[in-house]
Structure 1
Amino acid sequence: MGAGPRRGSRPPGVGVVPALEGAGLIALHLAATPLVGDGRLRWGTVGTEATDELPGDALVPEPKWSYTLGVGVAAPPEAVWPWIAQIGQGRGGFYSYQTLENLIGCRIVNTTEVLPEHQHPAVGQEIRLHPDAPPMRVAVVDPPHALVLAGAPADLAAEESGGAVTWQFVVRADAGGGSRLLTRGRYDHTSDWRARLGFGRFPLEAIVFVMSRRMMLEIARLAEGGA
């Protein structure tokens, strides 16, 4: 059963309280980084999910660092997919801390509806995270199971671009009619300080964790409400 539109709900992450929550969590995780170790890199995963081969892994075959996060969804993959398909700036948003993201100029609007005009991402399509930043491109589309965005064309080596990144979404059917939603990021970069700042693990990993965790929990909520 597919996800239907949700109307009348307040977009997730809007307001002063969510912004303070997001900023506080990022500050906490940045400070705790020396103590956390690799635990954040596999938050929510079960079994072998953190090490399983996923669609898009070959785009960054030897990452400097990577993460895999997981969450259970009480809805089938067909109900989860519409929210993933429309992800992006100027599209459905990122289902995270909207006010906080907009403080740095992202111009994000997190929707609580399935948007028909954004339900068919195509390989090569540009997906923006920020209106002034280079876009990611759709590298893999396999509804309702996988969407992979790449931060550099697959034929462009990290040595030429300064860095390469994938943002991978995978939805697996689970027992009892539910799903497992996984998201993975794989990062490679040169030794140049600008590349390390843009693609390196610190401080990016703590920020990505806080925002991705909120995003995944919100996608689960939306999918469960529309299933």
Structure 2
Amino acid sequence: MRKKRALAGSGAALALGLAAGYPCLWRHACLTWGATAVEVHREMPGDALLPTAPLVTTRAVTVGAGPAEIWPWLVQMGPGRGGAYTYDWIENLMGLDMHSADRILPEFQDLGLGDTMRLGRNGPVMEVAGLDSGHALVFRSQDGAWVWSFGLYPSRHGTRLVSRNRIQPPDPSPLYRLFSLYVMEPGSLVMERRMLLGIKQRAEEPIAGR
């Protein structure tokens, strides 16, 4: 019994230590996974739509393909469309009806400014607020609390795909801030990392001849 209690106490202490260290030691890496310092600080389309957002994430990946090969995968994203290229089973536990496509879907290539899509039955309605073919795609929630931007930047090794979220949390209470800090932020990294790598894999496949 003493050994079990000691192990439980050690586990609890470790968990508390990790939780206490996250804001100082790992949070920046969580919010900026894959992005360079230049990309984190660079202005992106959509920034002006929510300039004082208290939560900003900038995450990125290098895709071994040109912007023209990546763009179709971006414009077909969404529920009932091309999905989000992430963990569909997690998305669908939340009722988002995401089914990630493994091919370009011609019927979803005509995205236009003002087009909308609802994320789940009770989720936010996202509106296309910026559209620069081959360069930038910006979504904004109709309540103005979330701006999600994608930028395509040619590089020596292909294209840098950069995703930026600007978020105004709906609840300013301390409890919600703790939930956002320790659950939402790490969770968003898991899902968005998978999404970026999913787009990378799909855009590179034709080049690899697969």
Secondary structure in structure 2 of the residue aligned to 1:225: helix
Equivalent-residue separation in structure 2 for 1:148 and 1:204 (angstroms): 21
Shift in Å, 1:190: 5.9
* 1:144 to 1:131, Cα distance in 2 relative to 1, 3 A: farther
Per the TM alignment, residue 46 of structure 1 is displaced from its structure 2 partner at its CA by: 2.1
Unmatched 5+ residue regions in structure 2?
1-17
For the residues of structure 2 that align with 1:92 and 1:132, how far apart are their CA atoms? 20
Cα distance change, pair 189–47 in 1 and its aligned pair in 2 (3 A): closer
- The structure that has the greater radius of gyration is 2
RMSD: 2.4
Higher relative contact order, chain-length normalized (CA < 8 Å, sep 6+) = 1
Matched ranges for 1:19-38 at <5 A: 33-34=22-23, 35-38=25-28
Counterpart CA distance in 1 for 2:101 and 2:108 is 12
Question: Which runs of 5 or more residues in structure 1 are unaligned?
Answer: 1-29, 157-163
Compute the TM-score of the two structures, normalised by the length of structure 2: 0.80
1:208 to 188, 192, 198: 188
Secondary structure at 1:108's aligned position in 2?
A: coil
| Cα deviation, residue 189, structure 1 | 3.9
Residue 131 of structure 1: CA displacement? Answer: 3.5
Structure with the bigger percentage of helix: 2
1:123 match:
113
SS of the residue corresponding to residue 72 of structure 1 reads strand
> Deviations for 1:81-113, whole angstroms, at most 9, x for unmatched residues?
110011111110000001122122222111101
Aligned length: 187
Question: Any residues of structure 2 matched to 1:50-199 within 5 Å, and which?
Answer: 50-152=40-142, 164-176=145-157, 178-189=158-169, 192-193=172-173, 196=176
Percent identity for Structure 1 against Structure 2: 38
Contact 1:33 1:206 in 2 (8 A): no
**TM-score, normalised via structure 1 length:** 0.75
